[in-house]
Amino acid sequence: MMHTIHRPYPPLPPLPPTTGPSDIQLLVDYQRGHREDMAAIRAEQVLTGVYTPQRPISCWEQTVPGYREEVTVRLYRPQAEADATPAVLYMHGGAWCKGSIDTTHEYCLALADLSGALVVSVAYHLAPEFPYPHGIEDCYQVLCWMWKQAEVLGIDREDITLSGDSAGGNFSAGLSLMVRDRGEVSVKNQILLYPGLSMRAEDGVGGRDPDAMLSMQIVVDWYLGGAASQQPYITPLAAADLSGLPRTLLAVAALDGMRFCQRTYAQAIERAGNMITVVEFENTPHGFICDHRCLQQLEDMASLAADFIREKL
């Protein structure tokens, strides 16, 4: 069953001329030799100090087992509401090549505050240095760690949500399939924010803009590292079997070039017998939880996600 919610917003002011049409442009500039420092690119566009929690939130970092080496996670624990709280494994966006736990700090803070869940944000290894499957396998190992350490963390292992934005949304959708297939752990929900769900041009990657499609192909190639794009953990929309997925909340930004395959995915998982709620954010671009022009959308998204986790949506 699919339920669709429309959230209206006024048109946004334009970005300054020196800002690319998306953070993909930064990576294109790097590929073309116009930018030399990938570390500096990865540090850009961090939104800070825009959300004030309504209750105390403890926030700390620690290292946990990853795919081939340890990864850093940032944990957000709200003032406890119960002995065993829900938990969210959050995966940041950034085209698999950039972004960080700092990029989505404000959103994770809001999500923990509004949901009462423990949020675990993972600093997975990035391409091109660490191509597929490194990043998604990092996230799977963190999920297994959360499952095994549920009592220590004070969480309910039967109430874990996978969530992420953009590339992190791709990981979330891929992980839902991986969790189903491997049968080692379980998850209750997936919350996908403007996710990348296909590497195939026929699914509308990059929208209808040839330049956007070319730009996207650059970072896709970095992430794949020679792997076949049709694999379901890379392109969830290509999965032959989409049954048995967790409850899904899908946020679609109306100005996002990837909205076409997001809507196709929603229809496909509904046909496979899954429950899905789609939220359409009007006049809103890809990457809105990291956009200083979209602070209302950031808080609204966190509120919707919190309601979904608490089964009020």
Q: How far apart are CA 159 and CA 309, in angstroms?
A: 8
CA dihedral over 237, 136, 103, 247, signed as positive or negative = positive
Q: Is 285 buried (19+), middle (13-18) or exposed (0-12) by CB count in 10 A?
A: buried
- For residues 213, 216, 220 and 221, what is the CA-based torsion angle, rounded to 10 degrees? 80
Nearest 5°: the CA angle 78, 141, 148 is 60
User: Burial level of 204, CB count in 10 A (0-12/13-18/19+)?
Assistant: buried
Which residue in 165, 286, 291, 300 is the catalytic one?
A: 286
Q: Where are the beta strands (DSSP E) in 227-288?
A: 247-253, 276-281
What pLDDT score does 199 carry? Answer: 83
Q: Quick: pLDDT tens for 152-161.
A: 999 999 999 9
Contact 145, 64 (CB under 8 A): yes
- Contacting residues for 216 by C-beta, under 8 A, at least 6 apart: 24, 95, 205, 206, 257
Instruction: Strand 118-123: give its sheet, edge to edge.
Output: 2-7, 276-281, 247-253, 189-193, 155-165, 85-91, 118-123, 71-78, 57-64
Q: What would the mean pLDDT of 74-97 be, rounded to a whole number?
A: 91
Our answer to whether residue 292 is catalytic in this structure is: no
Cα within 13 Å of Cα(157), Cβ side? 14
Of the listed 121, 166, 198, 215, which one is catalytic?
166
For the chain, where are the alpha helices, taking DSSP H only?
A: 24-31, 38-43, 105-115, 134-148, 150-153, 167-182, 210-224, 259-271, 295-309
Which residue among the candidates 138, 159, 165, 256 is catalytic per the annotation? 256
Helix (H) or strand (E) holding 243: none
CB atoms within 10 A of CB 305: 27
286 is catalytic: yes
Statement: the pTM of the whole predicted model exceeds 0.75: yes
State the average pLDDT for the chain: 89
Confidence (pLDDT) at 313: 75
Most distant CA pair in the chain: distance in Å?
53
Bridge partners of 177? none
Percent of the chain with pLDDT over 90: 73
Position 13 scores a pLDDT of: 84
Distances (CA, A) of 58 to 98, 112, 262: 26, 10, 34
Per-residue model confidence as pLDDT tens digits over 187-236: 999 999 999 998 876 665 544 555 555 567 778 888 999 898 889 999 99
- Who wins on pLDDT, 63 or 258? 63
- Does 176 participate in catalysis according to the annotation? no
Q: pLDDT at residue 28 above 90?
A: no
Determine phi and psi for 51, rounding to 5 degrees. Answer: -125, 130
CATH numbers and ranges of domains, the chain: 2-7+55-309 (3.40.50.1820)
Phi-psi region of 49 (alpha: psi -120 to 50; beta: other; left: phi over 0): left
Using the predicted structure, report yes or no on whether residue 20 has a pLDDT greater than 50: no
Report strand pairing: 118-123 vs 247-253: unpaired
Q: What percent of the chain has pLDDT over 70?
A: 84
What's the token pair of residue 106?
Answer: 């404000």
Residue pair 193/122 in contact by the 8 Å Cβ criterion: no
CB neighbours (10 Å) of residue 151? 9
